[in-house]
Structure 1
Amino acid sequence: MAYQYKTSVPNIVFEKHLDIQGSMLKVLLVIIRQTYGYYDPKTRKHKEWDWIAISVFCKKTKLKRRTIGIAIQRLIDAQLILVKNEHGKFAHTPMDRKFSNKLYFKVTLK
């Protein structure tokens, strides 16, 4: 049997968050792909957090950096994602994220 390339998307996205559109949806789907999309057969778990560079969002979504920043902030405000910096401190504001070398993302989907 050939390997199937797929990513599981949490049901709550379809049940409660179908109103998300445009750049917010694109950014959310990249985060889902980078976390839920990676499965470790040894631990039998998906990634909870993943470091995702803004350039990765740009490449995968074809959006501009500013648009991605706005979408990230809206997703944080909607309590759909969490973001922390390389020191483990939550980066809830654009200024927190601006001065961070690495940003780690997690889907919360409340």
Structure 2
Amino acid sequence: MITCVIHYTIDPAKTEAFERFAREWVRLVNLHGGRHHGYFLPGEGASDKALALFSFDSLASYERYRARFGHDPEFLAADRIRDESGCVLRYERTFMRPLLED
């Protein structure tokens, strides 16, 4: 299993747009072979940090999902939410492997 961890810097004034963007990506990851573990947004206080975690069975499974970027109409529509609203200022993607209880 491989887990993608995305650290976002968001515009706190555009949290509603970020939530629309996030909900759409949860749906798309789950639809295309992954398991989304959720987005984690600021809970209180002024913060511009958010986090997303989702897993695929293998890097090959993730790469099949990633191959849809740039041409799949649903993927393009989800990215348009981010691009048109400006809710995401920057992000960093890291791949990790979980160490789970035996």
TM over 0.5: no
TM-score for the superposition, normalised by structure 1: 0.28
Question: RCO higher in 1 or 2 (8 Å CA, sep ≥ 6)?
Answer: 2
